[in-house]
Amino acid sequence: MAREITPQQNRSVASTNGDANRTAMAFTPAVDIFERDDTTVIVADMPGVAPDDVDVALERQILTLRGKVKPYAPEGYRRLSSEYREGDYIRVFTLSDDIDQSKINAEFKNGVLRLELPRSAQTKPRKISVKAA
């Protein structure tokens, strides 16, 4: 795992949200983390989440990914049965000082959230030339 990103402990949470017959869940999205010399990339799966229901927050060095799965029923129909539960995706990471927080980019497409976390210029590897004395 990338040394710049530390996943926080994930917890699954269930609540009734006021409806004793339906339980909303908090899901932990599966993530893949990739790195190269200048950037770390996080890819998080959030199926069932609409682009407007994705939230990425950064406070100090805590990166929080959230997505909301809303209940679905075609217009004019009422739900008779549902095996797919709505709820929230939540994943939290602690970022190191190596990440340039002002340049983090996020993109959401087809239920997949992709974040690019560039390293700050001071921490990027570089070649130091050696001169003969």
Q: What is the mean pLDDT of residues 46-56?
A: 95
pTM beyond 0.85: the answer is: no
Q: Does domain 24-72+84-123 correspond to CATH entry 2.60.40.790? A: yes
Give 114's strand partners.
Answer: 43, 107
Kindly provide the b/e burial profile for residues 40-68, where b requires at least 16 CB atoms within 10 angstroms of the residue's own CB: bbbebbbebbeeebbebeeeeeebebbbb
Beta carbons of 94 and 117 less than 8 angstroms apart: no
* Residue spans of alpha helices (H) in 82-133: none
**Confidence band of 9 (pLDDT split at 50, 70, 90):** low
131, pLDDT greater than 90: no
Is a pLDDT exceeding 70 seen at residue 16? no
> CB within 8 A of 99, min separation 6: which ones?
4, 5, 40, 61, 117, 118, 119, 120
Provide the pLDDT for residue 35: 92
Supply the DSSP symbol for 4.
Answer: T
Handedness of CA 74, 54, 47, 109 (dihedral sign): positive
93 neighbors 66 (Cβ within 8 angstroms): no
Question: What SS3 class is residue 124?
Answer: coil
